[in-house]
Structure 1
Amino acid sequence: MISYKPFYQTLHKKGMTEYGLIYGQGLSANTIHRMKKGEAITTKTLDTLCSILKCRVEDIIEYKADE
């Protein structure tokens, strides 16, 4: 299972908000909504987030094995 927990930690560390990503950087509100629900996003979106936040993919997502 893919978790977006690192994304929210990175967002906090960078002093950025979801609002800032949507209205300041043009990220889709639907993308944030999907991430909150743990749903899939595209690799293009991952690339965009890494570019905006100047971070690595591991700072956005992590894999957790189903138990």
Structure 2
Amino acid sequence: MRKKATISYDPLWKTMRNRGITTYELTVKRHFNKGTLYRLQQGENVNLSTIAELCEILECGIEDVVQIDLDCEK
């Protein structure tokens, strides 16, 4: 039995809501790349340096940005 990792950015959207930061503010005021934001919205992979940048901007830990679930695969 093999485990497959599923990556979710749901914690990111929750953290942004809790801190009152919109995607507009993230891209315009905090100069976060719009293409990277689109990739996050689509659930695509991003570099760990991108996750670190979000943690700095949001002043949070990695668990507040990304969640990794291991699903059993037969």
**TM-score interval for Structure 1 and Structure 2 normalised by the shorter chain:** over 0.9
Instruction: Summarize deviations over 1:6-46 as a string: whole Å, max 9, x none.
Output: 00000000110011010001100111100111101111111
Structure having the larger proportion of residues in helix: 1
Gaps of 5+ in 1: none
Q: Distance in 1 between the 2:23 and 2:70 partners?
A: 27
TM-score normalized by the length of structure 2: 0.85
Percent identical among aligned pairs is: 33
Query: Which residue of the partner structure matches residue 31 of structure 2?
Result: 26
Task: Tell me how large the CA RMSD over aligned residues is.
Answer: 1.0
Q: Note if 1:38 corresponds to 2:43.
A: yes
Q: Distance in 1 between the 2:20 and 2:48 partners?
A: 23
Size of the alignment, in residue pairs? 67
Gaps of 5+ in 2: 1-5
TM-score normalized by the length of structure 1: 0.94
Structure having the larger proportion of residues in strand: 2
Q: Runs of at least 4 residues of structure 1 off by over 4 A? A: none
